[in-house]
Structure 1
Amino acid sequence: MTQEQNKTIAAARRPRSKKKRDEILARTEDDQVGVQAFERGLDVIRAFASEQRPLTLSEIAEITKQPRASTRRLLGSLLRLKYAATDGQTFRLMPPVMELGYAYLSSSQFWDRVQPYMQEVMSELNESSSVGVLDLPDVVYVARAQARRIVQNMAIGVGSRVPAAVSAMGRLLLAYEPRHVVEAYLRERPLQAFTEKTIVDRDAFYAALDKGREQGWILVDEELEIGLRSLAVPLRDRSGKVIAAMNVGAVSARASADQMISKFLPVLREAANKANHALSFG
């Protein structure tokens, strides 16, 4: 990328001036009804985040301190948008609601702050390192430090999508999602064999998620493509919430599964810890 292109991109990323922000806020005051409805809708979504389980209408109204009638209308909007589902008694968020979080992550500059740490992984291990976010049914690559070595047959770059279930980053991020979100995902996208090593048994898949969440990392061993191993660890925001994953991949001829854990994992964890610190103060 040329210096001039870098300047153009940097200029586009600069935050608006305070005067410009104030002008935008002033214009929103002309539509307070719409703004308040939007805020109440966000309150309903946040209610699920605080409980992480299906909720009744009464529970949501109580958590958000909104009238039941208003809460029912807002839930109706979420149902129409397929951001929520109901069994007639309780309501739960559905995977499409994650589009809201992905929209933020895809437009934010957080991966600019983690790029140096992916470069450290790539330089020390001579293997490519990436950062991905969950946008079900896939994990989306939002940053990458590309080694010169060829890792796999498929071309991977920023913006690439890989099925979450067979990606180390995607599987790790699923491990930190509420179980009902994972269940809804698997109902819509049943486990599929990409290789003879792919986990296709649902109980075994849940066990892999539980183990990954407990140990704080996941290794996917030739489940997406024969000859490819990938290791992932979580990235967290300042509140400690897992928002992304960082990985390193290698072909099986260069690194065994044991070597990925003994040699690659400490390097990846150290880089992720530095990245988490940068994200906390970014």
Structure 2
Amino acid sequence: MAGSAVISEKKKTETSNETKAESRYSVGSLAHGLNVIKAFDAEHREMTLTQVAERTGMSRAGARRYLLTLADLGYVYHDERLFRLSPKVMELGYTYLSSEPMTAIVQPYLDQLRDATGETIGLAVLDDGYIVHIARANSKRSLMAPTLTIGRRFPAIYTSPGRVMIALKGETDVEGYLDVADPSVNGPLRKKDVDSIRKALKKAQRDQYAMVEQEIEIGVRTLAVPIFNQSHEVVSALNILTNIAKIEKEYLMNECLPRMQAVAAEIQHAIVD
């Protein structure tokens, strides 16, 4: 693992050169339009033109042009001074999910594990320093149980799926992952000390699982195990989300972890076949 790095100086230089060489092929309007869509979230479901301009770093005139274009295409609703996303935006995510065969394959296994444990189960992949859940089975047992949202991104370094995937991919440049982590979505109990995160990655590599407590969200403890492809490369992670006040760590380790490892093995056989 010592020779691996997420973003080495050489890679940074190569990436910078590639970006400059390929920038002439970039379509700025598309990038700006996507940034406008991404500006909306759970805390900003509806925004004025001024708010959108501030969150995207655009001028009011530029933001207005993109908002009205998105409205014409049906991706944004415009109600007097307020703008909000329309359900049509979900088509963009559905296009990915429908083209990803793993999501259809894994759903019965996630449901099976959810029913056996009573807890929320997710399947996450690594994407540029973040994890994204592409499949889920939310708990039916309790209103206090954590829930997962498909497509929501979290800094990988602060999550159990992210840590186990990073550790088993041999990517040890913790600073590189911390650089891309958005502080606004990290919980107040996250590990800030680089050495402690590096130790957590080494432990995940040794144990072949990772546990994270309250680093993204207060009251949530998560456990993740890796899923490998036929070349024994980690491609995703199976994780369980629990309420720290309701589920003891011993139950997770003694009851849930063996079940998760067994289901992960079944998923591996299914995706290889």
TM-score normalized by the length of structure 1: 0.60
Which residue identity does 1:266 align to in structure 2? P
1:77 and 2:70 matched? no
1:134 and 2:126 matched? yes
Alpha-carbon displacement from aligned partner over 1:7-54 (angstroms, at most 9, x marks no partner): xxxxxxxxxxxxxxxxxxxxxxxxxxxxxxxxxxxxxxxxxxxx8566
Q: Which residue of 2 aligns with 1:224?
A: 216
Alpha-carbon displacement from aligned partner over 1:141-183 (angstroms, at most 9, x marks no partner): 1001122233566x62221222212221122222223436543
The runs of 5 or more residues in structure 1 that have no matched partner are 1-50, 58-72, 83-102
Which residue identity does 2:247 align to in structure 1? A
Q: 2:101 aligns with which of 94, 98, 109?
A: 109
Q: Tell me how large the CA RMSD over aligned residues is.
A: 3.3
Q: After TM superposition, list the pairs within 5 Å mapping 1:1-282 onto structure 2.
A: 52=4, 76-77=17-18, 80=21, 107-148=99-140, 149-151=142-144, 156-179=148-171, 182-189=174-181, 194-195=186-187, 197-281=189-273
> d(CA) in 2 for partners of 1:183 and 1:77?
22
TM-score normalized by the length of structure 2: 0.62
Give the secondary structure class of the aligned counterpart of 2:169. Answer: coil
- Number of matched residues? 196
> d(CA) in 2 for partners of 1:74 and 1:188?
15
> d(CA) in 2 for partners of 1:79 and 1:106?
33
Which residue identity does 2:218 align to in structure 1? I
Contact preservation (8 Å) 1:235, 1:276 = yes
The runs of 5 or more residues in structure 2 that have no matched partner are 24-94
Structure 1's 129 and 56: CA in aligned 2 closer, same or farther, altered over 3 A? closer
Structure 1's 215 and 105: CA in aligned 2 closer, same or farther, altered over 3 A? farther
Which residue identity does 1:276 align to in structure 2? Q
Structure 1's 113 and 127: CA in aligned 2 closer, same or farther, altered over 3 A? same
Give the secondary structure class of the aligned counterpart of 1:123. Answer: helix
> d(CA) in 2 for partners of 1:232 and 1:208?
13
